[in-house]
Amino acid sequence: FREEENTLRELRIFLRQICAKLARNKQFYMFSKPVDVEEVPDYLSVIKEPMDLETMMTKIDHHKYTCAQDFLNDIDLMCANALEYNPDRNPADKQIRHRACYLQDTAYALIKAEMDSDFEDNCRKIRDDR
Ligand SMILES: CC(=O)c1csc(NC(=O)C2C[NH2+]C2)n1
Protein backbone atom coordinates (compact mmCIF):
# COMPACT_ATOMS: atom_id res chain seq x y z
CA PHE A 1 0.00 0.00 0.00
CA ARG A 2 3.09 2.19 -0.13
CA GLU A 3 2.21 3.00 -3.80
CA GLU A 4 -1.30 4.09 -2.73
CA GLU A 5 0.15 6.44 -0.09
CA ASN A 6 2.54 7.85 -2.71
CA THR A 7 -0.39 8.46 -5.07
CA LEU A 8 -2.47 10.21 -2.37
CA ARG A 9 0.54 12.32 -1.33
CA GLU A 10 0.95 13.43 -4.96
CA LEU A 11 -2.80 14.22 -5.10
CA ARG A 12 -2.55 16.41 -1.96
CA ILE A 13 0.40 18.34 -3.36
CA PHE A 14 -1.51 18.90 -6.63
CA LEU A 15 -4.74 19.97 -4.87
CA ARG A 16 -2.84 22.41 -2.60
CA GLN A 17 -1.47 24.12 -5.72
CA ILE A 18 -4.97 24.39 -7.25
CA CYS A 19 -6.51 25.62 -3.98
CA ALA A 20 -3.76 28.22 -3.44
CA LYS A 21 -4.09 29.48 -7.03
CA LEU A 22 -7.86 29.97 -6.61
CA ALA A 23 -7.43 31.65 -3.20
CA ARG A 24 -4.89 34.11 -4.70
CA ASN A 25 -7.42 35.39 -7.24
CA LYS A 26 -8.84 38.69 -5.91
CA GLN A 27 -12.16 38.00 -7.70
CA PHE A 28 -12.69 35.01 -5.39
CA TYR A 29 -11.90 36.77 -2.10
CA MET A 30 -15.47 36.21 -0.75
CA PHE A 31 -14.86 32.45 -1.17
CA SER A 32 -11.41 32.42 0.43
CA LYS A 33 -12.55 32.16 4.08
CA PRO A 34 -15.69 31.08 5.98
CA VAL A 35 -18.50 33.69 5.79
CA ASP A 36 -18.24 35.94 8.87
CA VAL A 37 -21.58 35.62 10.70
CA GLU A 38 -20.90 39.03 12.30
CA GLU A 39 -21.04 40.57 8.81
CA VAL A 40 -23.71 38.26 7.37
CA PRO A 41 -25.85 37.29 10.39
CA ASP A 42 -28.49 35.18 8.59
CA TYR A 43 -26.00 33.20 6.47
CA LEU A 44 -26.04 30.04 8.60
CA SER A 45 -29.86 30.05 8.78
CA VAL A 46 -29.95 29.82 4.96
CA ILE A 47 -26.83 27.76 4.11
CA LYS A 48 -26.73 24.42 5.95
CA GLU A 49 -23.30 23.29 4.75
CA PRO A 50 -20.96 26.27 4.28
CA MET A 51 -17.72 25.72 2.34
CA ASP A 52 -14.74 27.95 1.50
CA LEU A 53 -11.21 27.65 0.11
CA GLU A 54 -9.45 27.92 3.49
CA THR A 55 -11.58 25.06 4.85
CA MET A 56 -10.78 23.05 1.70
CA MET A 57 -7.04 23.61 2.24
CA THR A 58 -7.43 22.24 5.78
CA LYS A 59 -9.36 19.24 4.43
CA ILE A 60 -6.46 18.49 2.07
CA ASP A 61 -4.05 18.49 5.02
CA HIS A 62 -6.42 16.21 6.96
CA HIS A 63 -6.43 13.72 4.06
CA LYS A 64 -10.17 14.23 3.46
CA TYR A 65 -9.81 14.06 -0.34
CA THR A 66 -8.77 10.80 -2.00
CA CYS A 67 -9.44 11.96 -5.57
CA ALA A 68 -9.86 15.22 -7.50
CA GLN A 69 -13.62 14.70 -7.84
CA ASP A 70 -14.02 14.77 -4.02
CA PHE A 71 -12.28 18.19 -4.10
CA LEU A 72 -14.47 19.34 -7.00
CA ASN A 73 -17.58 18.24 -5.08
CA ASP A 74 -16.69 20.85 -2.42
CA ILE A 75 -16.13 23.43 -5.18
CA ASP A 76 -19.64 22.56 -6.46
CA LEU A 77 -21.04 22.95 -2.90
CA MET A 78 -19.36 26.37 -2.48
CA CYS A 79 -20.81 27.50 -5.81
CA ALA A 80 -24.32 26.16 -5.08
CA ASN A 81 -24.26 27.91 -1.68
CA ALA A 82 -23.46 31.24 -3.33
CA LEU A 83 -26.26 30.82 -5.91
CA GLU A 84 -28.69 29.88 -3.12
CA TYR A 85 -27.75 32.75 -0.80
CA ASN A 86 -27.66 35.37 -3.59
CA PRO A 87 -30.75 34.68 -5.74
CA ASP A 88 -31.94 38.24 -6.40
CA ARG A 89 -31.60 40.30 -9.58
CA ASN A 90 -29.77 43.16 -7.85
CA PRO A 91 -26.20 43.86 -9.07
CA ALA A 92 -24.53 42.63 -5.84
CA ASP A 93 -26.22 39.23 -6.01
CA LYS A 94 -25.60 38.97 -9.77
CA GLN A 95 -21.90 39.69 -9.33
CA ILE A 96 -21.49 37.06 -6.57
CA ARG A 97 -23.33 34.45 -8.67
CA HIS A 98 -21.11 35.27 -11.63
CA ARG A 99 -17.95 35.00 -9.49
CA ALA A 100 -19.14 31.64 -8.08
CA CYS A 101 -19.70 30.20 -11.58
CA TYR A 102 -16.35 31.59 -12.74
CA LEU A 103 -14.62 29.98 -9.71
CA GLN A 104 -16.28 26.62 -10.44
CA ASP A 105 -15.36 26.67 -14.16
CA THR A 106 -11.79 27.77 -13.32
CA ALA A 107 -11.34 24.91 -10.83
CA TYR A 108 -12.61 22.29 -13.29
CA ALA A 109 -10.49 23.71 -16.12
CA LEU A 110 -7.31 23.84 -13.98
CA ILE A 111 -7.75 20.24 -12.81
CA LYS A 112 -8.67 18.91 -16.26
CA ALA A 113 -5.70 20.72 -17.85
CA GLU A 114 -3.11 19.65 -15.27
CA MET A 115 -4.31 16.23 -14.12
CA ASP A 116 -3.52 13.00 -15.94
CA SER A 117 -6.81 11.09 -16.30
CA ASP A 118 -5.09 7.77 -15.48
CA PHE A 119 -3.90 9.37 -12.23
CA GLU A 120 -7.49 10.38 -11.33
CA ASP A 121 -8.77 6.92 -12.29
CA ASN A 122 -6.17 5.42 -9.92
CA CYS A 123 -7.26 7.80 -7.12
CA ARG A 124 -10.93 6.89 -7.60
CA LYS A 125 -10.03 3.18 -7.43
CA ILE A 126 -8.22 3.82 -4.13
CA ARG A 127 -11.27 5.80 -2.87
CA ASP A 128 -13.79 3.15 -3.95
CA ASP A 129 -11.72 0.28 -2.49
CA ARG A 130 -11.61 2.01 0.91
C1 LIG B 1 -19.96 33.62 0.15
C2 LIG B 1 -21.25 34.22 -0.29
O3 LIG B 1 -21.98 33.62 -1.08
C4 LIG B 1 -21.63 35.54 0.20
C5 LIG B 1 -20.93 36.28 1.11
S6 LIG B 1 -21.74 37.73 1.36
C7 LIG B 1 -22.96 37.33 0.25
N8 LIG B 1 -24.07 38.10 -0.09
C9 LIG B 1 -24.33 39.37 0.48
O10 LIG B 1 -23.60 39.84 1.30
C11 LIG B 1 -25.51 40.13 0.04
C12 LIG B 1 -25.58 40.47 -1.44
N13 LIG B 1 -26.99 39.98 -1.44
C14 LIG B 1 -26.82 39.37 -0.09
N15 LIG B 1 -22.76 36.12 -0.30
Segment 62-108, tens digit of pLDDT: 999 999 999 999 999 999 999 999 999 999 999 999 999 999 999 99
The chain-wide mean pLDDT, for the chain, equals 97
pLDDT over 70 percentage in the chain: 100
Q: Is the pLDDT of residue 1 over 90?
A: no
> What average pLDDT does the segment 101-126 reach?
96
Contacts of 89 (CB under 8 A, 6+ apart): none
Dist. CA 35 → ligand 1 center (Å): 8
> 118 near 26, Cβ under 8 Å?
no
Nearest alpha-carbon partner for 74 in 90, 59, 61: 59
ipTM: 0.96
Residues enclosing ligand 1, CB less than 6 A?
30-31, 35, 40, 82, 85-86, 92-93, 96
